[in-house]
Amino acid sequence: MNRSDPDRFDSRKWILGFFAIVLTAALVLSVAAYAIDPFLQFRVKDNAYLLRGWFVDSGLIENYDYDTLIIGSSMVQNFDMELWREKLGGKPLHIGMGAITANEIGRLMDLAYEAGRADTYYICVDQYLLSSEADINHFPEHLLRKDLLSRLRYLLSYEVWFRYIPIDLALTVLDRLGVTLPEKIAAKKSIDKLGDWRLDFPPGTTGREAVLRYNEKREYSVSAVNTEGLDQRMKTKIDAFMDRFSYDRGAHVFFFPPYSSLFWCDARIDGYFNAYAQAKRYFAEEAAKRGAVVYDFQGADCTLDLDNYRDTTHYLPNVSDWMIGCFADSRYLVSRDNISVFLEQLTANTDRFRTENPDLFD
C-alpha cells in the first residue's frame, strides 16, 4: 500500500510545478504587457504605434492631457488638431469611430466625466444614432472597465500579445534604427491623426465621380432606414441620448455633420427626409432646455458640391477645416428661434441639387 505514496507525491509535485510555471508565465507576460501597454490603458506614450480606436479610446480618455473632447463617428476623424488649436485654443483630443452607436458615445462620455480632464465636449450627432434600432457594442468590454479582472484580461489578451505587441516592438526597433516609415504607417502613431482616413483615399477615389460610383453600389452608405414609427422612435432615442450627459460637468456642443445634398435627395426618395428634419427640431429644443449648444451644418453650401465628398456622407478634410472655423466664429449656431431657417435651407438645397442634377434622378 505504501508503494503508491511516492507516486502520489510525484503527481502532486508535477501539478504544483505546472501551476507554478503557468503563474510565472502569466506574471511575466502581464509585467511585459504593462510596460509596453499597446492600448494606452495605464499611460500615454510619446511614440504610440498602430493606434486602433476601438482599443485605445478608453485609455486616451483616461490618460491623455486634454481639456476639450471631440467625439463621434468617422465624421470627426479628419479634424486637424493643429488647426483646432490655432482657431479654438486649448488641448483637444478627438475620438472618432466609424459606425459608433449612441450607447457607445454614452459609455465613453462616462469615462470622460470620471477622468475629469475636459471642460468642453463636442459631440457629433449622426442621424443614424437617433434612428437605428440596433444597439451594437464594438468596444471590448474589459477596456471600458477599471476593475482588477478587466485589467488582467487586458494584460493577457490575445490582441495584446499576438496582434499588437510584436508589431509595436518591430516598429520601435525600426524607429531606433532611424528607418523612415511610409506615411500611412507613420500616421498610425499620431494621436492627433487617430482614425484619419485621408491617406486611404488618394486622388481619384474621392470627388463627384467617386461619390456617384459609391452611391450606385451603395458602398460606404448609411444603412437602410426603417420608416415605420420613425418619428416616435427618434424622439424616444433623442430623449435617451440627451439624458446620458452630465451637463453640469462642462460645456456640451452638439453638431449635425454636413452630409451631401445627394444623401438628402435619397432620404426624400426613401421616405425619411421629414422625420430626420423634424428630429433635428426636437433635438434643438431639448438641447436648449439642458443648456447645451447645437450647430447644424447640413444645409451649408458645401453640401451641394460632390467634389467635397468621398461618398454621400463622408466629407473631405477641407470641409472639416471649414467646420472648425465655424465653431470658432459661432456660425451655423442653432436656437429654438432659428431652427426653422435651417430646416428651410436644407429643403431648398435638396431641391436645388435635384434641379441642377436632373440626370441623377431620371
Looking only at the bridges linking them, the beta strands covering 68-72 and 120-124 are parallel
pLDDT band at 99 (very low <50, low <70, confident <90, very high): confident
Give the three cell numbers for residue 238.
433623442
Of how many residues is the chain composed?
A: 362
Note the pLDDT tens digit of each residue in 126-185. Answer: 998 898 766 778 889 999 998 999 999 999 998 898 888 888 888 888 888 888 888 888
Question: Which helix (DSSP H) or strand (DSSP E) does residue 252 occupy?
Answer: strand 251-256
pTM over 0.85: yes
Count Cβ atoms below 10 Å from residue 356 Cβ, excluding itself: 10
Looking only at the bridges linking them, the beta strands covering 293-296 and 68-72 are unpaired
User: What is the Cα–Cα distance from 329 to 222, expressed in whole angstroms?
Assistant: 30
Average pLDDT, integer, range 7-22: 66
- The pLDDT score that the predictor gives to residue 3 is 52
51-144+178-360 in CATH: which number? 3.40.50.1110
User: What is the Cα–Cα distance from 88 to 95, expressed in whole angstroms?
Assistant: 17
Q: Which residues contact 288 (CB under 8 A, 6 or more apart)?
A: 294, 335, 336
Q: Where are the beta strands (DSSP E) in 80-155?
A: 92-96, 120-124
Note the pLDDT tens digit of each residue in 192-244. Answer: 999 999 989 988 899 999 999 988 876 444 557 888 899 999 999 999 999 99
Residue 187: helix, strand or coil by DSSP? helix
Report which of 150, 172, 151 is spatially closest to residue 31, judged by C-alpha positions: 151
Residue type, 341: V
- The pLDDT score that the predictor gives to residue 9 is 58
Report which of 258, 240, 254, 269 is spatially closest to residue 320, judged by C-alpha positions: 258
- Exposure string (b/e) for 127-163, b if CB count within 10 Å is 16 or more? bbbbbbeeeeeebbebbbeeeeebbebbbebebbbee
Note the pLDDT tens digit of each residue in 30-55. Answer: 888 899 999 999 999 877 777 888 89
Beta bridge partners of 212: none
196, 187 contact by CB (below 8 A)? yes
Number of H helices, E strands in the chain: 15, 6
- The pLDDT score that the predictor gives to residue 133 is 67
Between helix 165-176 and helix 4-36 the angle, nearest 10°, is 50
Strand arrangement of the beta sheet that strand 333-334 belongs to: 92-96, 68-72, 120-124, 251-256, 293-296, 333-334
Of 18 and 217, which is predicted with more confidence? 217
